[in-house]
């Protein structure tokens, strides 16, 4: 006969189990009789562990990352593993009650109620009884339960390790993509459960980092899943460092090389190598990291350093793999005659781009005097990185399917698209979730709305998550923590969200944590008013064209600062606008359509945006249908161009430029967001604003008759504000007292 403890349950019983958690029974004399509540009652909200480990004969057990000492030990009887009820229940987050008269144990969590009686081989789950092959027992006045039957009833799977005599319970998590919601709240790294609960978070981003997936990460992920939080794991894809768990020789072998054959550092003042995305050893290493993260059960994989080599085209990469890859790229793209006549390449089979650059005194492709050749090398690096990331994504999805038999599409894919620069936008169609670090300026200049408008246009329907970069975090003072409320509210007002820092990395090797109490009032406000942010549509009549094909190869303005300056000038002048985004016809073939353009009465084309390919055709068709296009626009001319057009832009206000006004259509109503940018760094507070007029042109389909206007703000009661309707417009006065943010809603 086998001596392996029987911790399995019958398939019939397993189907009847409901996903929930259990709590442990204390010594029988101290528990209070409680009957099962009816299904649907909200009993039990304390955290539960995602991974629980009991060793037979040991009085210590593990609940996620915590070791807990018991006053009793798990034991084996009749081939079954029995666990003290009190500790089993505490770990699984259930409420437990003991009826001494009937010797019945009742465990409840959420909508699940589980009942067992000492000496009776039956378990009752939400009123449905099922026979089991063992009964709860009393030993020394303490109640013990068969671990697996109770665990299964509360949504856990159980496994037995005979060599260690160990029972492991792991919460069974149901994967979905329902969490991909722009009205979400994210926290950096690995905050504890109470922090996530206090800020009402959706989950974590950048949750597992550097040294690879390990048991510590696994227990953390399990604990978050058991408590309904999302885990977006992360690993670097261009940082060649021993902190990754590789040796120094590997980091040197896989590093990018400059034109002189020297290893290239990562940049940003970080003394590590920039790893080459075309190096096969590095690619194999990253594939193994993807499999680790998927195997650990992450909801999504976040790719960091998304652009790879393309992030340092000012110096890299000219390793043998890049030089050979570039030769193959040129052979596939051009004929021998085109190579000679257009690019000056006589023999592509022996062509050495690094040697050519050295011969013309150039230190990198960016300083190549031949613009056409420079463009082709850039395009080669862009294309190979796109192919690399697609390969990594397919590896991830195949591993999900191979591991669990579930659809690989349940896994979300995301990437840190730093500041949404042109190079970063190349990868936007690959991802489901778009976190992006930003070099946020000090207020009042540090307005993020232009970046958010670009993000919404480039990634329609996707969740965008802004975040200050490591340099901003390094300079941030805890005395200015109110800025996090400002940043979060500004993001939600603009249709995106913002990441909260918990032990977030800062330049120089430090970290920064925002105390939960510094932001919880704001997150509570946003969660309790979430309907004001859902189902909204922009009302702008002006659009700025963003042509990725033009911006991508703009050597003099590689970060498209001209576009952002135009957006800020319009925003500060209270001219509502949206962005119409058109991709690169070659690498990101998604073009603006005439129908998109016709939503607007005026389209602005920034200076230096030559408007290429299909975008030029769409603009011509738009003009032929009566649309107006203003070209060669700069931040100095944008406001005058719009005002001089005579277009009703939809918003009139005498608010100062340090107050942002964002109007959205919501069904047949309006929502108007008011964001204060007037911050006093000396006093660490916002200067209150107010007593200014706001007039909004009613968009088609909006009717405000019979409604009231309420002004909502974090930390204060709603205020009813009078308004007037005349000539298809609504007008009201914002009262004095606008500090960080307020939202005016016609209800």
List, as one string, the DSSP characters of 673-689: EEEE--EETTTTEEPPB
- With beta carbons less than 8 A apart as the criterion, state whether 308 and 279 touch: no
Domain co-membership, 428 together with 549:
no
Q: Are residues 33 and 123 in the same domain?
A: yes
Q: CA quadruple 371, 372, 377, 381: dihedral positive or negative?
A: positive
pLDDT band at residue 266 under the 50/70/90 scheme: confident
Please give the structure tokens belonging to residue 384.
């190979």
Could you tell me which residues come within 8 angstroms of residue 66 by beta carbon, excluding any fewer than 6 positions away?
Answer: 49
CA distance 151 to 146: 9
Same domain? 600 vs 498: no
How many CB atoms sit inside 10 A of residue 667's CB? 12
Question: Is position 5 within any domain?
Answer: no
Mean pLDDT of 64-89: 91
Specify the higher pLDDT residue, 507 or 641. Answer: 641
- 47 phi, psi to nearest 5 deg: -60, 150
% of the chain exceeding 70 in pLDDT: 92
Q: Is the pLDDT of residue 611 over 70?
A: yes
Using DSSP's 3-state secondary structure scheme, residue 386 falls into helix
**371-404 vs 320-333: helix axis angle to the nearest 10?**
100
> What's the CATH code of the domain at 159?
3.30.457.10
- Domain end point (choices 645, 660, 678): 645
Give pLDDT, residue 44: 41
Query: Mean pLDDT in the chain?
Result: 89
Q: Looking at the structure, tell me whether residues 405 and 518 fall in a common domain.
A: yes
CATH code, domain carrying 627: 3.40.50.880
**Is 572 within a domain?**
yes
Pairing status of strand 497-500 against strand 186-188: parallel
Compute the average pLDDT of residues 337-355. Answer: 95
Check whether residue 554 and residue 423 sit in a common domain.
no
Q: Mind listing the pLDDT tens digit for each residue in 545-598?
A: 999 988 888 877 777 888 999 999 999 999 999 999 999 888 998 889 999 999
Q: Does residue 149 lie in a domain region?
A: yes
Q: What is the mean pLDDT of residues 303-323?
A: 92
* Residues 391 and 503 placed together within one structural domain of the fold: yes
Q: Would you state the pLDDT for residue 8?
A: 31
pLDDT for 29 beyond 60: no
Q: How confident is the model at residue 270 (pLDDT cuts 50, 70, 90)?
A: low
Complete DSSP assignment for 86-152: HHHHHHHT-EEEEETTTTEEEEEEBTEEEEEETTEEEEEETTEEEE-SS--EEETTEEEEEHHHHHH
- The answer to whether 655 touches 648, Cβ cutoff 8 Å, is no
Decide if 322 is inside a domain: no
Per-residue pLDDT reduced to its tens digit, 628-685? 999 999 999 999 999 999 999 999 999 999 999 999 999 999 999 999 999 999 999 9
On the question of pLDDT at 57 being above 90, the answer is: yes
Residues 622 and 707 in one domain: no
Inform me whether the pLDDT recorded for 698 exceeds 80.
Answer: yes
Strand order through the sheet with 692-697: 651-653, 692-697, 729-734, 723-726
26 and 102 fall within a common domain: yes
CB 552 within 8 A of CB 393: no
Q: Which residue has the higher pLDDT, 124 or 409?
A: 124
Q: Is the domain of 561 the same as that of 628?
A: yes
- What is the reported pTM? 0.90
Residue with the larger pLDDT of the pair 54 and 44: 54
Residue that the structure tokens 């109503």 belong to: 669
Cα four-point dihedral sign 219, 284, 459, 714: positive
Pick 409 or 320 by higher pLDDT. 320
Q: Looking at the predicted structure, is the pLDDT value of residue 43 above 70?
A: no
Name the token pair of 494.
Answer: 């603009």
Domain count, the chain: 4
Same-domain check for residues 268 and 413: yes
Residue with the larger pLDDT of the pair 731 and 172:
731
SS3 73: coil
Q: Per the domain annotation, does 102 fall within a domain?
A: yes
Please report whether residue 339 resides in a domain: no
In the chain, pLDDT over 90 holds for what percent of residues? 76
- Judge residue 11's burial from the number of C-beta atoms within 10 Å of its C-beta, 0-12 exposed, 13-18 middle, 19 or more buried: exposed
Boundary (domain end) residue, out of 528, 560, 594: 528
Q: Which of 489, 504, 528 is the last residue of a domain?
A: 528
In-domain check, residue 376: no
Q: What is the mean pLDDT of residues 468-494?
A: 96
DSSP 279: -
Burial class (CB in 10 A: 0-12, 13-18, 19+), 103: middle
Regarding whether 589 and 482 lie in a shared domain, the answer is no
Give the domain range for residue 266. 186-310+386-528
Are 141 and 271 contained in the same domain? no
344 in a domain, yes or no? no
Q: In what order do the strands lie in the sheet with 719-721?
A: 536-538, 659-666, 669-676, 741-746, 709-712, 719-721
Element (H, E) at 498: strand 497-500
- Tens digits of per-residue pLDDT, 127-153? 999 999 999 999 988 999 999 999 999
With bands split at pLDDT 50, 70 and 90, how would you rate the model's confidence at 269?
low
Helices (H) and strands (E) in the chain, counts: 21, 43
Beta bridge partners of 744: 672, 711
């Amino acid at each position: 006969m086998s001596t392996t403890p029987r911790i399995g349950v019958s398939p019939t019983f397993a189907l009847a189990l409901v996903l929930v958690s259990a709590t442990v029974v204390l010594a029988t004399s101290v528990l209070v009789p409680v009957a099962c509540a009816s299904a649907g009652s909200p009993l039990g909200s304390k955290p539960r562990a995602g991974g629980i480990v009991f060793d037979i004969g040991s009085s210590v057990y593990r609940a996620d990352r915590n070791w807990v000492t018991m006053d009793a030990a798990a034991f084996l009887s009749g081939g079954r593993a029995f666990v003290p009820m009190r500790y089993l229940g505490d770990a699984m987050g259930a409420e437990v009650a003991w009826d001494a008269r009937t010797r019945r144990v009742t465990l409840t969590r959420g909508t699940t109620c589980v009942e067992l009686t000492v000496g009776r081989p039956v378990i009752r789950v939400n009123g449905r009884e099922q026979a089991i092959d063992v009964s709860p027992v009393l030993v020394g006045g303490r109640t013990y339960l068969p671990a697996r039957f109770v665990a299964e009833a509360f949504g856990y799977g159980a496994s037995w390790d005979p060599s260690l005599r160990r029972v492991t319970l792991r919460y069974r998590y149901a994967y979905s993509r329902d969490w991909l919601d722009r009205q979400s709240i994210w926290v950096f790294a690995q905050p504890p459960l109470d922090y996530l609960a206090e800020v009402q978070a959706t989950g974590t981003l950048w949750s597992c980092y550097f040294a690879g997936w390990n048991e510590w990460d696994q227990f953390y992920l399990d604990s978050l899943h058991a408590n309904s939080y999302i885990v977006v794991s992360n690993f670097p894809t261009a940082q060649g460092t021993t902190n990754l768990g590789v040796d120094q020789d590997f980091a040197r072998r896989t590093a990018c090389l400059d034109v002189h054959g020297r290893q290239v550092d990562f940049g940003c003042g970080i003394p590590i190598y920039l790893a080459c995305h075309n190096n096969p050893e590095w690619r194999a290493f990253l594939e193994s990291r993807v499999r680790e993260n998927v195997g650990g059960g992450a909801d999504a994989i976040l790719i960091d350093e998304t652009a790879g080599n393309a992030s340092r085209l000012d110096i890299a990469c000219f390793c043998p793999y890049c030089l050979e890859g570039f030769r193959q790229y040129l052979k596939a793209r051009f004929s021998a005659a085109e190579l000679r006549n257009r690019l000056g390449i006589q023999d592509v089979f022996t062509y050495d781009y690094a040697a050519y650059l050295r011969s013309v005194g150039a230190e990198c492709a960016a300083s190549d005097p031949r613009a056409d050749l420079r463009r082709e090398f850039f395009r080669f690096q862009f294309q190979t990185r796109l192919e690399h990331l697609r390969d990594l994504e397919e590896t991830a999805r195949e591993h999900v399917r191979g591991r669990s038999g579930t659809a690989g599409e349940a896994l979300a894919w995301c990437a840190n698209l730093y500041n949404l620069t042109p190079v970063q936008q190349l990868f936007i169609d690959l991802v489901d979730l778009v976190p992006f670090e930003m070099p946020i300026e000090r207020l009042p200049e540090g307005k993020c709305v232009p970046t958010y408008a670009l993000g919404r246009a480039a990634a329609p329907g996707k969740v965008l998550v802004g975040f200050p970069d490591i340099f901003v975090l390094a300079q941030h003072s805890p005395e200015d923590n109110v800025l996090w409320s400002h940043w979060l509210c500004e993001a939600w007002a603009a249709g995106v969200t913002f990441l909260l820092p918990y032990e977030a990395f800062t330049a120089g090797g430090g970290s920064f944590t925002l105390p939960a109490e510094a932001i919880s009032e704001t997150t509570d406000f946003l969660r309790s008013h979430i309907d004001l942010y859902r189902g909204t549509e922009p009302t702008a009549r002006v659009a700025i064209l963003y042509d990725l094909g033009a911006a991508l190869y703009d050597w003099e303005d590689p970060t498209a600062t001209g576009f952002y300056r135009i957006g800020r000038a319009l925003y500060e002048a209270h001219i509502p606008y949206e962005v119409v985004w058109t991709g690169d016809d070659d690498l990101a073939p998604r073009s603006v359509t005439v129908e998109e353009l016709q939503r607007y009465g005026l389209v602005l084309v920034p200076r230096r945006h030559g408007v290429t390919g299909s975008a030029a055709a769409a603009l011509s068709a738009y003009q032929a249908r009566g649309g107006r296009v203003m070209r060669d626009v700069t931040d100095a001319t944008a406001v005058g161009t719009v005002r001089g057009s005579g277009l009703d832009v939809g918003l009139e206000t005498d608010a100062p430029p340090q107050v942002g006004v964002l109007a959205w259509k919501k069904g047949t109503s309006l929502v108007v967001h008011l964001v204060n940018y007037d911050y006093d760094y000396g006093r660490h507070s916002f200067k209150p604003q107010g007593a200014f007029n706001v007039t909004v042109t009613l968009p088609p389909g909006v009717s405000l008759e019979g409604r009231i206007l309420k002004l909502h703000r974090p930390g204060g009661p709603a205020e009813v504000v009078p308004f007037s309707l005349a000539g298809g417009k609504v007008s009201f006065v914002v009262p004095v007292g606008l500090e960080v943010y307020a939202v005016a809603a016609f209800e």
